[in-house]
Amino acid sequence: MIDEIESHRRAITGHCYRMLASAVDAEDAAQETLIRAWKAMDKFDGRSTLRTWLFRIATNVCLDELAARGRRARPMEERPPGFRGDLTQHPREYWIEPIPDARAVPDADPLAQLQLRQSIRLAFVAALQNLAPRQRATLLLTEVLGWSAAEVAETLATSIPAVNSALQRARAATAQLTPAPAELTPAQSELLEKYVAAFERYDVDEMASLLRDDAAFSMPPYALWLQGPAQVREWLNGHGAGCRGSRLIPVAACGSPAFAQYRADPAGGHSPWAIVVLELDQDRIAGWNSFLDTATLFPLFGLPQKLSSNR
């Protein structure tokens, strides 16, 4: 039975990530879920499937976590856009964090995997953080896991009308999100090739030309939010110029195109600098998010701590 419980870890981690918006917190919550399940196996009466029972535990672990910390919504944007000379740094707990697909999306049929990858996209997870925790749980249990209102009501110890009301509000709050295509289009694959080539030769004008007119640029843990090609170009030519000579290694993060960025090290080789997650809109980049917490993120992705001069 322990092995059967353990087989659900990846799916539970993905659920906890959608609730908590942090890869580290999601893994901790998933571990706590499995521990609670192991300790309570004698109480599992088989009225539901083991999977459903585990997700009920996971949902309440996350609700307990959110209640205990009184956490505000984790931001992806800092308004108004622009850079005014000083970079304010916030702790890891403040920000949304990317998660490796391999830790959040379990093996499943292609359609189910597509739906699960969609549900860990940064835009979707960011929108969830603006919902009250129980609304968030209601939306995820119904829209992602496919539960009935009765199952959600039992999990959250509430009524079916209350579930339906919370679901209506949650759907309204996320209605503007545009689903990503099932696979990259040829134009998007070409876009990513151009982006990597331009980044590695540090052609700022070419990188800026790949952005949508209202593209957003963020760089957690710094409270930096830029909008549009002009602001991004100015940043890359100024404070961001230290990224000249970087190398990009493809990774799978948040169901989106992503890269591990290694910056040139004066001592030789290249050292970790960021996990870059891109959000695409047709044949343009709509979001460029560089997460600089390499000490936390690079081990999660199983990435080396150094690239030699010869790739």
pLDDT of residue 42: 82
Is residue 157 very low, low, confident or very high in pLDDT (cuts 50, 70, 90)? Answer: very high
CATH of 2-82+109-173 given 3.10.20.30, 2.102.10.10, 1.10.530.10, 1.20.140.160: 1.20.140.160
- The whole-chain average pLDDT of the chain stands at 91
Binned at pLDDT 50, 70 and 90, residue 267 comes out as confident
58 neighbors 15 (Cβ within 8 angstroms): yes
Determine the average pLDDT of the residues in 45-55.
88
pLDDT score at 112: 86
| Lowest-confidence segment of 41-55, 87-101, 184-198, 229-243 by average pLDDT | 41-55
pLDDT at 47 over 90: no
**How sure is the predictor about 278, in pLDDT bands with cuts at 50, 70 and 90?**
very high
Sequence letter at residue 281:
D
Q: Give the strand order in the sheet containing 256-264.
A: 222-227, 211-219, 284-291, 270-281, 256-264, 247-253
- pLDDT confidence of residue 144: 92
**Structure confidence at residue 304 (pLDDT):** 95
CATH 1.20.140.160 domain locations along the chain: 2-82+109-173
pTM of the model: 0.93
How large is the average pLDDT for residues 198-205? Answer: 98
CB neighbours (10 Å) of residue 86? Answer: 7
The reported pLDDT for the residue numbered 244 is 96
Tokens representing residue 11 in the block: 């799916």
Amino acid identity, position 285? I
Please, what is the angle between helix 50-69 and helix 149-156, to 10°? 50
| pLDDT band for position 79 (cuts 50, 70, 90) | low
Higher pLDDT, 2 or 120: 120
Q: Delimit the CATH 3.10.450.50 region(s) of the chain.
A: 186-300
CATH number given to 186-300: 3.10.450.50
Beta-bridge partner residues of 248: 261
Asked if residue 257 lies in contact with residue 190, where contact means CB atoms within 8 angstroms, the answer is no
